[in-house]
Structure 1
Amino acid sequence: MTESQDKYPTKADWDALNILIGKANQGAPEAIRELQQFLDERPQIWNKIGDVAKISESAWITLIANGDCMLKESLKKKLTVLKDEILDGSTHIFDQMLAEVIQSTWLELHYLLRVDADATNRTAGQSTLMMKRLESAQRRHTSAIKQYCQIKKLLPGDNRQPDISIFQPRQDSA
């Protein structure tokens, strides 16, 4: 990769690229080939733009924050800490993928809990649907955590077992 390919496109490059994208979106075969070549030469761009986990995360954050910039930025920081804690320094692709799923399901679950907290003007049918959505989100979140724990047991390394303490042993006082 050349030095120019390591750098992101300039404003002029983006302007030209947006015209090319427009033509490609309209189905122009030559524009599609040019776009593919452009992306082949700049994996840092398709890697960032094509990060579906980040797109999902951003969509959930935008939905939850509802225009509140303080909440939006706080959620980003909270997710960074959460991901760092889940990964515990691991760079394995399965850890990365499952950490992203855990983050996404965590956002979904807590968004739905927030929406469910305001049950005013909700019909019985809407309440039933909300309960089903909440239960489904909880199952997805729990399943993601279980999958993560299973992967950690299977992967090689010193710290194979995740340090997750959901329940603390009961201390009997005698």
Structure 2
Amino acid sequence: MSTDAIATPTPEQMTELQAVTDRARAGDHTAVPRLRELLALFPRHGAYFGDLALQAAGVWIDLAAGPDLHLRESLAVKLDALRRDLLGGSADPVLDLAVDRVALTWLAANYLTAMDGAAVKHGESPRLQAFRAKRRHQAERAHLTALAALVALRKALAAPPAAAPLAAPVLTDRAAREAVANRLSGFFDGLPTLARDGAKAAASN
């Protein structure tokens, strides 16, 4: 059965998928063959849990939101909107990877900036504040690098394809002789008639 025929698992299949997933997460190697079969039937399940960019975003959102579920959901919505804006409707997989990197570094840089402000507010030691500032600077550089890569990629994708070089014209033997004769004819004007006629005859042969 094709994977397109089963876009969404039935409740029974979802129950089995959850049970097999739990066994695999617990380290049960006997669950792997059936897990592979289920992931082949429902690739979206594997794509979701195997998306490390998505998992990384979840880690940063957890750090930023903590137990605040409203902030957690708001950050997820903001991140989705940022990705959509940066993708601009493109389905290019390479652009998608670049946008993931920009979104993640944006999240990390802004989280660390917020932590810098909280550190100052709570009067942390200058040494700890300096450590936090160093981490923030690293995150900001990573974000700027990701942005630069995205801009360069957009330019590369938008550039028109390079024109193929024009092939040199292929001349027949006669055409080649005539071209040489025409090019040399100007040099014969100052020669005596006999020499000029002989040179032209040599060129035409």
The one-letter amino acid paired with 1:76 is A
TM-score normalised to structure 2 length: 0.67
Contact kept? 2:106, 2:143, Cα under 8 Å: yes
Deviating above 6 A after TM superposition, structure 1's stretches of 4 or more consecutive aligned residues are none
Contact kept? 1:87, 1:96, Cα under 8 Å: yes
Aligned position for 1:21? 21
Find out whether 1:70 has 2:53 as its counterpart. no
CA-based RMSD of the aligned residues comes to 2.3
Aligned position for 2:85? 85
The one-letter amino acid paired with 2:96 is Q
Q: Secondary structure of 1:6's partner? A: coil
TM-score normalised to structure 1 length: 0.77
Aligned position for 1:122? 124
Tell me, in whole angstroms, the C-alpha distance in 1 between the residues paired with 2:106 and 2:76: 13
Contact kept? 1:98, 1:147, Cα under 8 Å: yes
Identity %, equivalent residues: 25
Aligned position for 1:102? 102
Tell me, in whole angstroms, the C-alpha distance in 2 between the residues paired with 1:68 and 1:114: 16
Q: Secondary structure of 2:6's partner? A: helix
The one-letter amino acid paired with 1:146 is A
Query: Taking CA–CA contacts closer than 8 Å with sequence separation of 6 or more, which of the two structures ends up with the larger relative contact order?
Result: 1
Q: State the Cα distance separating 1:94 from its structure 2 match.
A: 1.5
Q: State the Cα distance separating 1:130 from its structure 2 match.
A: 0.4
Tell me, in whole angstroms, the C-alpha distance in 1 between the residues paired with 2:106 and 2:150: 14
Q: Which moved more, 1:24-33 or 1:43-52?
A: 24-33
Q: Would you tell me which structure has more helix in proportion to its own residues?
A: 2
The one-letter amino acid paired with 1:89 is G
Tell me, in whole angstroms, the C-alpha distance in 2 between the residues paired with 1:50 and 1:122: 38
The one-letter amino acid paired with 1:8 is P
- Please list, as runs of the form range in 1=range in 2, the aligned pairs for 1:3-82 lying within 5 A after superposition: 5-10=6-11, 12-82=12-82
Tell me, in whole angstroms, the C-alpha distance in 2 between the residues paired with 1:80 and 1:28: 35
Give CA deviations for 1:140-173 in whole Å, capped at 9, x if unaligned.
1000001001111212467xxxxxxxxxxxxxxx
Give CA deviations for 1:23-69 in whole Å, capped at 9, x if unaligned.
33454443211111211222121112222222222222232222333
Aligned position for 1:167? none
Q: State the Cα distance separating 1:127 from its structure 2 match.
A: 1.6
Which runs of 5 or more residues in structure 1 are unaligned?
A: 159-174
Contact kept? 2:23, 2:31, Cα under 8 Å: yes
